[in-house]
Structure 1
Amino acid sequence: MFRPVYRFTLVLIVMGLSACSSNSPTIESNMGVKGAPDWVNEGTQSVDSVDGRFIYGVASAPSMNDESLQTATADNRARAEVAKVVSTYVDSTMSDYTAATGDTSSNSIENSINSATQTVLNGAKIKGRWKDKNTGNVYSFAEMDMKALDDAISTAGKLSDSFKAYYSENASANFDRFIKDTEE
């Protein structure tokens, strides 16, 4: 009875320590889970494909006595992975905007973007789950279409027209550079 609780607590501690270790996004690849779908082993990532620009979040939850709690935990962790990547992307975009325009009202802009981003993140969809029969771990795959973020920023009422124009003109290039930077 104590073993699942112990494992869950240990996983939370390890995740907490790893979250404190770096401010830049870490994109795991080839996690080496045998028999898992490709998305499990590819991990969290930013993708630019013919279907669009996406942030994929992949996370797991250890075996628990409550399967619905385990699934909800994996889903929430996958969404949190998406949120981390989007947060880094927004911070990068804000830095670029400030450098390009010299706009010093970045706190106001940043707060408005964070609000728009939070709304979009609520729409991150769980696209798949997989349960490892050997360990009992459940893996969840969350997807966020960057078009939703672009739309939210372009319609955010509190953002300046100059930022909206900058974002609209540079969103694709910023995303491409962001992907390249996270792959290095």
Structure 2
Amino acid sequence: MMVGRVKYLLLCAVSVLLLVGCSGAPKVKSDLGIEDAPNWVNEGSQAVENDDGRFIHGVGMAPVVGDLSLQKSTAANRARAEVARVLSVSMDALHADYIASDGEEADSNIEREINSHTQLALNGVKIIGYWKDQNTKDIYAIAQLDLKKLEKSIKRASRLSENFKSRFIKHLPFSSN
């Protein structure tokens, strides 16, 4: 019983940190400090809100592997995986928060529905750019998930309750609701 309560409190704390961390436009300073690199390379994976909309950006890197096509593909796949990682952390926290706050048991239908819509959204992830470091020959890729499209997909989910849909959308970074 005590372990369950500790997990619940820890999960609530993580949820609060996620919400606080995503509550405003991120102010990211260059983490990598790679000279002449585009800002997105140095800033890394993050939620972004700008004039074009609300997005999750994932950045992936691939070292030289001998074949340029394979190297670009590896960087792109790693960028997509970064988007999935950022989204997965948010969705796991949301699911646990929803179950805990509503006093409902874990519902496999909710989990299945979240996973299917998340997978559908991840199919919409686009690679929007590449950059090659001329010194190391590493290739970087940036992937983008449009949160507005994810929001629309969740609103169309017939098996999710309106209460859950509302919470899901509110938990998205830079939610419009």
Aligned partners of 1:84, 1:28: CA distance in 2, in Å?
21
Aligned partners of 1:120, 1:65: CA distance in 2, in Å?
32
Q: Is the 8 A contact 1:120 1:152 kept in 2?
A: yes
1:76 Cα offset (Å)? 0.5
Aligned partners of 1:111, 1:28: CA distance in 2, in Å?
37
Q: Is the 8 A contact 1:28 1:44 kept in 2?
A: no
Residue in 2 that maps onto 1:175: 173
Residue in 2 that maps onto 1:16: none
Residues 116 and 29 from structure 1, CA distance in 2 versus in 1: closer, same or farther, beyond 3 angstroms? farther
Q: Is the 8 A contact 1:60 1:140 kept in 2?
A: yes
Deviates more, 1:124-133 or 1:97-106: 97-106
Counterpart check, 1:125 vs 2:126: yes
Alignment of 1:83-122 (within 5 A): 83-122=84-123
Residue in 1 that maps onto 2:75: 74
Residue in 1 that maps onto 2:53: 52
Residue in 1 that maps onto 2:25: none
Residues 143 and 28 from structure 1, CA distance in 2 versus in 1: closer, same or farther, beyond 3 angstroms? farther
Q: Is the 8 A contact 1:94 1:106 kept in 2?
A: no
Identity %: 47
Q: Is the 8 A contact 1:54 1:145 kept in 2?
A: yes
Normalising by structure 2, report the TM-score: 0.75
**Paired AA for residue 154 in structure 1:** K
Normalising by structure 1, report the TM-score: 0.72
Q: Higher helix proportion, which one? A: 1
Q: Tell me, what secondary structure is at the counterpart of 1:175?
A: coil
After superposition, the C-alpha distances for 1:82-139 in whole angstroms (9 at most, x for unaligned) are 0000001111221232233222243321121011101110111111100111111100
CA RMSD of aligned residues (A): 2.4
1:141 Cα offset (Å)? 0.5
Deviates more, 1:130-139 or 1:29-38: 29-38
Residue in 1 that maps onto 2:7: none
**Paired AA for residue 156 in structure 1:** A
Q: Is the 8 A contact 1:129 1:139 kept in 2?
A: yes
1:50 Cα offset (Å)? 4.1
Structure 2 alignment gaps of length 5 or more: 1-16, 19-27
Residue in 2 that maps onto 1:33: 34
Residue in 2 that maps onto 1:61: 62
Number of residue pairs matched by the alignment: 150
**Paired AA for residue 35 in structure 2:** K
1:167 Cα offset (Å)? 3.0
**Paired AA for residue 109 in structure 1:** I
Q: Tell me, what secondary structure is at the counterpart of 2:173?
A: helix
Q: Is the 8 A contact 1:33 1:41 kept in 2?
A: yes
Residues 112 and 41 from structure 1, CA distance in 2 versus in 1: closer, same or farther, beyond 3 angstroms? same
1:157 Cα offset (Å)? 2.9
Structure 1 alignment gaps of length 5 or more: 1-23, 178-184
